[in-house]
Every structure is written in C-alpha cells, then in structure tokens.
Amino acid sequence: MGNVIVSNITRTPVENGSNWGSVAAPSSPGLTGTFAEGNTITLAGSGYGTLGVTTKYDDFEDGTNGQLISARPDWNTTKANGGDDPIVVSETSYAGSLCGKSPIAATGDSATYLTGDFREVYAAFAYKGRINSGETVANTVKGFRVHANDGPNVYTSYPGISEQEIISEHSINSRRFEVWPKQDTGGQTVLYTGAPSDNVWTYLEYYWKQGSVGVADGVVKTWNNLTAGLNETSVTTNEAGVTNSWKLAMLPFFWGNGSGGDHFYDLVHISFDQGQAKVMATDNAVYASSTKREAMNTLTRVDGEVTFKVPANTFTPASTVYIHVIDTDGTSTNTYSTTVT
C-alpha cells in the first residue's frame, strides 16, 4: 500500500459541463481511507445534502461463476420463450474478474431488474452487448427501461407489471427504448451520440424523471462513454390516464424474434428519487474535462459527510484519482484527490 495523497479541492459550483470559475487550492484533508477495492472512504465537507443511499450497487465480485443473479440481494430476474437465467460470469468483465450476464437464445427472454416505487431514476453501468455469430440485426434487443404498474399494455413476461408509455417520440413502438447497434431502424440514434458498439464495453448513464400526467415536462438524459446524448426536459414520460409511480427498472435485455446475442453488465449503480446525486471517481479535477468516470457505491450521505465503498475499478495503481460529490442537478460541488493503491 502506497502513501495516500489527500486534498480537498474547493471550487465554486457551476452548471455541469461548464468550466470551473476558480483555481484549485489545497485545504485541510477531508478524505479518510485508501482508494483500493473493498475499502470504505469518508469525505468530510459541507453542502452534500442529506440523501438516501444508492438504491442498488453491484460489481459482482463477491459472486461465483455461474451464480444465479436472482440469488443475489435485491435483484429480480425472469426468463421466457426458451431463454436462460441471468447469471454471474467470469468469461469477461469491465472491472475485476466477474460481471452479470443475460444469456440470450435466438427467441428467448432473459432480464434482470429492480422493483420499487419511484418517480426518478439515475443509472450508471458498464455494458457490453454481443450479437451471436452470423447475426447482423438484433431489432428486439432492449435497453435500460422502466415500467409502471398501470397503463394500457400488459407485458406478460413480468406478471403484475404493465408497460407504461414513456418517451414515445424517442422509441420505435411507443413503449420501449431501443439502444442496440445494427438495428434496422430508429431508436438508438436519438438516445446516444454513437450507439454502443457490438462486443465492446461502454459506460452508460441514464437520468429519467417522471413528468405530470399527460404533460410534456418529464426529463430524459443519456450519456455514452461520458458523451451526452439525449438531453430533454420537456418530454411526456407519464401518459394520460397513468397515475402511479414507476415500479420496475430493468437492465438491457433481449426479447425474441429470431435474433441472438448476450448482454453483460458491470459496476451497476441505480438510485431512485435522488436526482442525479452520486459519488464519481474520475481522472480529472475538472468534472467536465474527465475522460474516465466510474460511480462509487455510496453508503451514507448527510450534509457534512459522505461515505462510499470502492468497488472493483479500472483506475491504474499509483495514479491520481479525483472523487467528485455530485448534487441532485448533476453538478460536481466537492472534489477530492487521492492515490489509487
């Protein structure tokens, strides 16, 4: 274990994506702990806001190859039409040695999801989709999405959960996000600047906020490898006649129609009703200038202190990592630096 270099960089909070208006200045140490997988780090400061913890974080490193994801805390899974159970695998990973997989048969269904009662969701995770050899199109592969428990279209693979029409102008069939590469038509090009590439790990982020019933005041934002894609603040995310909050948040999955492939996911961070608040490790003191970001596993967050657990990560040992405390609007308001051990 090397020496830990700690500093608290104080900056004037500005809108995320703009340049900082002040120069970094050393201050009294505010970071306690070492940046190594499995360690807990405490950040002392102010103005963090008292928020709930991460709804779900999973780097799968405490699992075993072949473990059912349904056996892991909080996760729900489903399969249908000859699909296989989502599992933990060692065949590939974004960080560490394990990740989650939804294995896909040609007409099968295999999905991993959380249930809750929420009107906002932020998700960040590493994702790799792999189309089976010989396939050129996977036009029924679905990206991250949410469901309500009312609405006109019952999705029969998930008993008791009905599809709610969300962001109809940004999906092919008015109910689903389509983000897979090599699709025939529509969908993914409006969600991202460059759709996720086949068989390549991509870091995806989503922020959706439910709007008023039947009113175009919902929020939909996406990022693909840190590049902003969709950035809409006036979308209909809550169709007329739907009054309940969202009930299900689902990782990318596949549903039939003769195409095959696999979904892999790692460093999964999902939070409900916390806005865009999170703790991010990056490679730059200026959040908007970072070229690498990974969400940390937030354990507690009160106005003067944040604690988080360091997951499996891809930061180079002995390099400097910058820890950004992000507020509900997505703005970095407190920044710390330390050395990766």
DSSP annotation string for 20-82:
PSS-----S--EES-BSTT-EEEEE-S----BPPPSEEE--TTS-TT-BGGGSTT-EEEEETT
Position with higher pLDDT, 6 vs 57:
57
Q: Residue 5: is its pLDDT beyond 60?
A: no
Taking phi over 0 as left and psi of -120 to 50 as alpha, with beta for the rest, 252 belongs to beta
Q: Give the per-residue pLDDT at 139.
A: 46
CATH 2.60.40.10 fits 7-52+276-339, yes or no: yes
What was the pLDDT predicted at 239? 59
Q: What is the pLDDT of residue 106?
A: 60
Which of 137-141, 236-240, 326-330 bottoms out in mean pLDDT, i.e. has the lowest?
137-141
Per-residue pLDDT, 78: 83
DSSP code for 193: S
Average pLDDT, the chain: 75
- pLDDT score at 156: 36
Confidence of residue 25 (pLDDT cuts 50, 70, 90): very low
Nearest to 167, CA basis, from 120, 128, 219, 213: 219
Interior angle at CA 169, CA 162 and CA 182, nearest 5: 90
pLDDT digits (tens, 9 = 90+) for 42-65: 999 988 988 888 889 999 999 999
Better-scored residue on pLDDT, 232 or 43: 43
- 26 has a pLDDT exceeding 90: no
- pLDDT of 188 reads 41
Side-chain-side CA neighbours of residue 42 (13 Å): 7
pLDDT surpassing 90 at residue 306: yes
For residue 185, count other CB atoms closer than 10 A to its CB.
10
Which of 13, 68, 102 is closest to 286 using CA atoms?
Answer: 13
Structure confidence at residue 163 as a pLDDT band (50, 70, 90): very low
State the residue for tokens 């792999």: 130
Tokens of 283: 């490679």
d(Cα 41, Cα 314) in Å, to the nearest integer?
Answer: 17
Q: Which amino acid is at 286?
A: V
Q: Count Cα neighbours of 274 within 13 Å in the Cβ-side half-sphere.
A: 26
For the chain, which residues make up each domain, given as ranges?
7-52+276-339, 56-272
Q: Which helix H or strand E contains 154, and what residues bound it?
A: strand 153-154
The pLDDT tens digits for 164-197 are 333 333 333 333 333 333 333 444 444 555 556 6
pLDDT at 152: 39
The token duo for 151 is 């609405």
Measured between alpha carbons, how far is 16 from 333 in angstroms, rounded to an integer? Answer: 9
- Reference 213, options 123, 122, 150, 276; nearest CA is 150
Structure tokens, 16: 């995320």
What topology is assigned to 56-272 in CATH? Answer: Jelly Rolls (2.60.120)
**Residue 82 pLDDT exceeds 50:** yes
CA dihedral 306, 309, 312, 315 (to 10 degrees): 40
- How much is the average pLDDT of 234-262? 66
Q: Which is higher by pLDDT, 337 or 222? A: 337
pTM assigned to the model: 0.82
256-287 burial code (b ≥16 CB/10 A, e <16): beebbbbbbbbbbbbbbbbbbbbbbbbbbbbb
Number of helices and strands (H, E) in the chain? 1, 25
pLDDT at 158: 37
How many Cβ atoms from other residues are within 10 Å of residue 66's Cβ? 10
